Chain A
Amino acid sequence: MSRLDDCYNVFDLRDVAKRRLPRAVFEFVDRSTEDEVALRNNRAAFERIKLRHRSLVDVSGRQTKTTLFGKEIALPMAIAPTGAAGLCWHEGELELAKAAAKAKIPFTLATGAMTNMEKIAREANFRLWFQLYVWKQRDLSYGLIERAKNAGFEALIVTTDTIVPPNREYNARNGFNIPFKPNMRFTFDIMRKPEWFINVLVKYLTTIGMPRNENYPPQYQKALRSDPKMFDVMRQDNLNWEDVKIFRDKWPGILMLKGINRVDDALKAASMGVDGIIVSNHGGRNMDSAAATIDMLPEIAQAAGDKITVLLDSGVRRGSDIVKAVALGAKCVLTGRATLYGTAAGGEAGAAKAVNFIKTEMDKTMAYTGCNGVDEISTDIFFGDRERNTMVGA
C-alpha cells in the first residue's frame, strides 16, 4: 500500500485520512468543539515540556514495555474508545483491535462502536476494555455490563465527562450527526470520495446493511440513520457516584473512570474502590475551556499516589508525549485520533503503523534521555522546574 509507505508519522497518516474520508467523517474524527481551544492546548502543553539529553548511559538494552494492572504490555499505551472507527474503515473497530492485539497493547471498545463486542472478543483477544455510556434507563446499562463480562472483557471504563452532548457545530454543518440526518452537503461529500463509498459504505450495505450501534440494547440497535430521540435516552446528566457504587458491585474486573480532572474526584474514586482513573478532556471534544490534561496530571497523580492507577489521554501524537506523561505520573496513555488516522489510512496495517511510529519515537526519546526502562522515566529528565514543570524564564 503505497500511501501508507509514504507516511512517517501520525500527521502523515492524518493527511492520508483526510484525503480518503468524506469531509464529514474526517471532521468528526479530527475536530473537537467550538473554537478548538482545548484541542490545540492539549498539543501545546506537550510541546512546551522540554527534556534534557543524558550522555553516556549504555541504553542498548532499553525497553518500552511496562506492567499495567499486573500484566505486561509492549508500551504504556492503550487504544481509546472511539465511535467512528467503523466509518473510517470497513469493520474498523476489528481492524484496530487486531492491530492492538498484535502490538500487545490494550484495546477499548466504545459503547458507540459498530462492531459487537462478542466478535471483537473472538477475533482480537489480547486485553480488551469496554467503555460505557450510561443510559437513562439504568437497567439497560446493567445489561450491557453483563454482556461485557460474559464476553471476557478485562476492564470497564465509565466515561464521566460527557454529561451533555457536546457542542460540535461542524457535525451539524456537515450533516453528520448520530443519528444521521444526511443533508445535501453530506450526499455531495460522499460522492466526492468514491473509494470510501465503495470500500466502506457499499461493503456494509452489501453485507450487514447500514452499520448499527451493535452494542446498544436491542431495542435501540437500529441503523445509524434512525431515531432522533437517541440522545435523549442516552442522556447522562444524572450520572452520579451512586451509579459508580453499583457498577463497582456489578463489575468484578478492573473498573476505571474516564474524565477525572480534579484531585477531589480522584480521591473519591479511589475511596469507592475504582481501580483506575483517566485524566481526560475527551480529546478536547467536550468542554472547550478544559485545561490541558498534561497540565492537570501532576497534581492528580501526586494525590492519587499508589491508591489508584492514573492514566492520561487527549493530545498524544508522538512517542515523546508518552515519556512526558509517564514522567508526570501516568502509568499509561490512551490514543484516540492518532490510531484512528492510521485505521482510516490503511485498516489494520495503518493502525499498526500508527502504534509503531509512536513506539519508535518513545524508544528514541528514552535513548536520548538515558532511560533503559519505563520505571526510570521521571521528571529528572525535564528541563526547568521539576515540581511545577514550568520552564526556566518562561
Chain B
Amino acid sequence: MAALDDCYNIFDLRAAAKRRLPRGVFEFVDRATEDHLAVTGNRTAFTDVKLRHRSLVDVSGRSTKTTLFGKPASLPMVIAPTGAAGLCWYRGELALAKAAAAAGIPLTLSTASMTAMETIAQEAGGRLWFQLYVWKRRDLSYQIIERAKAAGFEALIVTVDSAVAGNREYNSRNGFALPFSPNPRFLMDIARHPSWTLGVMGRYMTTIGMPKHENYPAEFQSTITAGAAGRRDEMRIDSLNWDDIAKFRDMWPGILMLKGVNRIDDAMKAITYGVDGIIVSNHGGRNMDSAAATLDVLPEIAGAVGDKCTVILDSGVRRGSDIVKALALGAKAVLTGRATLYGTAVGGQDGAAKAIGLIQTEMDKTMAYTGCNTVDEISTDIFFQDWRSNRG
C-alpha cells in the first residue's frame, strides 16, 4: 500500500487520512472544540518538556514492555475509545482491535462504536476494555455492562468528563453530527472522496447495510442515519454522579476505571469507591476548550494518588517521547485516540499497526537516548529542569 509506505510518523498518517476521508469524517476525528485551545495546549505541554541525553549506559537490552493491571503489555500504550473508527475504514474497530492484539496492547471499545463487542471479542481477541457512556435510563447501561462481562471484557471505563455534548461547531457546519443529517455540503464532500465512498460506505451497503451503533441497547440501535428521535436526550449524562460509580463497582468484578479525572479531590474520591484506575484526560481537547493540558495536570494527581490506584493519561499523545514524558510524571500508561485512528483511516489493520509501530520505535529511541533500559527506570531524572519549571 503506497500511501502507508510513505508515512514515517503519525503526522504523515494524519495527512494521508485527510486526503482519504470526507472532510466531515476527517474533521470529526481531527478537530476538537470551539477555538481549539485545549487540543493545542495538550501538544504544547508535551513539546515543552525537554529531556537530557544520558551517556554511556549500555542500553542494548532495553525494552518498552510493561505490566498493566498485573498483565504484560508490549509498551505502556492502550487504544482509546473512539466512536468513528468504523467510518474511517470498513469495520474499522475490528481492524484496529486486531492491530492492537497483534501488537500486544489493550484496545478500548467505545459505547458509540459500530462493531458489536462480541464480534471484537471473537475475531480480534487480546486485552479488551469497554468504555461506557451512561444512559439516562440507568437500566439500559446495566444491560450493556452485563453484555461486556459476558463477552469477556477485562476492564470497564466510565467516561466522566462529558456531562454535556462538546460544542463541536465544525460538525454542524459539515453536516456531520450523529445521528447523521447530511446537508448538501456533506453530500458534495462524499462525492469528492470516491475511494472512501466505495471502500467504506459501499462495502457496508453491500454487506451489513448502513452501520449501526451495535453496542447501544436494542431499542436505540438504529442506523447512524436514522436519527432515533430523542436519542441524544436518552444519552444525556449530566446527572451522572458518584452513586452511579458505587453501583457500577458492585456490578463489575473486573478492572474499573474513570476517564476524565482532572482534580486531586476527584481522584482521591475515586479511590474510596474502589476504582482501580483513573485516566487523566480532557477528551483529546474535544469537550471543554479551557481545559488544562493533561500533562500539566498529571504530576499533582499522580503524586497524590501514589500506589492507591493506577494513573493513566490521554489527550495529545502523538510521539513515543510523549509516553516517556507521561511515565516520568507518574502515568503507568497512555491512551491514543487520534494517533491510531489516523493509521486506521489510511490502511485499516496495517495502518493501525504502523501507527503503533512508529510510536513504539520512537519510545524505544527516547529510552535509549536517556539511558533507560526499562520503563521502571523512566523518571524525571531524565528531564531538563525540575518538571515544575520545565517550560523554559
Contacts and interface: CB of A to CB of B under 8 A. Distances in A.
Interface of A: 6, 8-9, 11-12, 47, 49-60, 62, 318, 320, 323-324, 360-361, 363-365, 367-370, 383-384, 391-394
A383 B34 contact: no
Given A52-B297, A393-B296, A59 B163 contact: yes
B154 interface: no
Interface string B342-374: 000000000000000000000000000000000
Nearest to B299: A392
A320 B169 contact: no
Given A8-B172, A361-B34, A392-B296, A51 B242 contact: no
Given A52-B297, A55-B161, A393 B290 contact: no
A53 B164 contact: no
A52 B388 contact: no
A391 B297 CA distance: 11
Given A52-B263, A56-B160, A56-B240, A391 B296 contact: yes
Contact of B261 (A47, A51, A55): A55
A62 B239 CA distance: 10
A253 B161 CA distance: 44
B241 interface: yes
A56 B244 contact: yes
B262 interface: yes
Interface stretch (B24-32, B99-107, B205-213, B281-289): B281-289
A335 B300 CA distance: 36
Contact of A368 (B288, B387, B388): B288
A369 B288 contact: yes
Contacts, number: 119
B290 A58 contact: no
Interface in B150-177: 160-161, 163-167, 169, 172-173
Nearest to A393: B391
B242 A393 contact: no
A324 B242 CA distance: 26
A141 to B, nearest CB: 41
A57 B161 contact: no
B267 to A, nearest CB: 9
Contacts of A52: 262-263, 291-292, 297
B288 A364 contact: yes
A100 to B, nearest CB: 23
Interface string B165-196: 11101001100000000000000000000000
Contacts of B290: 47, 49-51, 320, 323-324, 365
A393 B266 contact: no
B37 interface: yes
A60 B236 contact: yes
B35 A51 contact: no
A9 B35 CA distance: 10
A51 B172 CA distance: 25
8 contacts: A8-B169, A49-B290, A51-B288, A53-B160, A54-B263, A59-B163, A59-B164, A393-B391
A363 B287 CA distance: 13
B47 interface: no
Contacts of A6: 173
B167 A360 contact: yes
Nearest to A6: B173
Contacts of B291: 50-53, 368
Contacts of A57: 163, 241
Interface of B: 34-35, 37, 41, 160-161, 163-167, 169, 172-173, 236, 238-242, 244-245, 258, 260-263, 266, 269, 282, 287-293, 296-297, 300, 387-391
Contacts of B287: 53, 368
Given A62-B238, A360-B167, A368-B161, 12 more contacts: A9-B34, A50-B292, A50-B293, A53-B262, A55-B258, A59-B238, A367-B163, A368-B291, A370-B163, A383-B296, A392-B388, A393-B390
Residue of A62, A369, A384 ringed by the most chain B CB atoms within 10 A: A369
Contacts of B41: 50
A361 B160 contact: no
A27 B202 CA distance: 49
B167 A383 contact: no
A275 to B, nearest CB: 31
A226 to B, nearest CB: 43
Nearest to B245: A56
Contacts of A12: 169
A394 B296 CA distance: 10
Contacts of B297: 52, 383
Contact of A318 (B35, B245, B263, B389): B35
A9 B33 CA distance: 11
Contacts of B238: 58-60, 62, 367
Contacts of A391: 292, 296
A184 B280 CA distance: 59
B386 to A, nearest CB: 9
A55 B263 CA distance: 8
B260 A55 contact: yes
B169 A9 contact: yes
Given A54-B266, A56-B241, A60-B239, A368 B163 contact: yes
A174 B173 CA distance: 34
A55 B259 CA distance: 9
A365 B288 contact: yes
Contacts of A360: 167
A310 B183 CA distance: 46
B278 to A, nearest CB: 9
A58 B239 contact: yes
Contacts of A49: 290
A310 B260 CA distance: 34
A55 B173 contact: no
Nearest to B392: A393
B313 to A, nearest CB: 14
Nearest to B269: A56
A15 B9 CA distance: 36
B268 to A, nearest CB: 12
B173 A8 contact: yes
A368 B389 contact: no
Contacts of B289: 318, 320
Contacts of A369: 288
Contact of A58 (B34, B173, B240, B262): B240
Nearest to B385: A393
B245 A364 contact: no
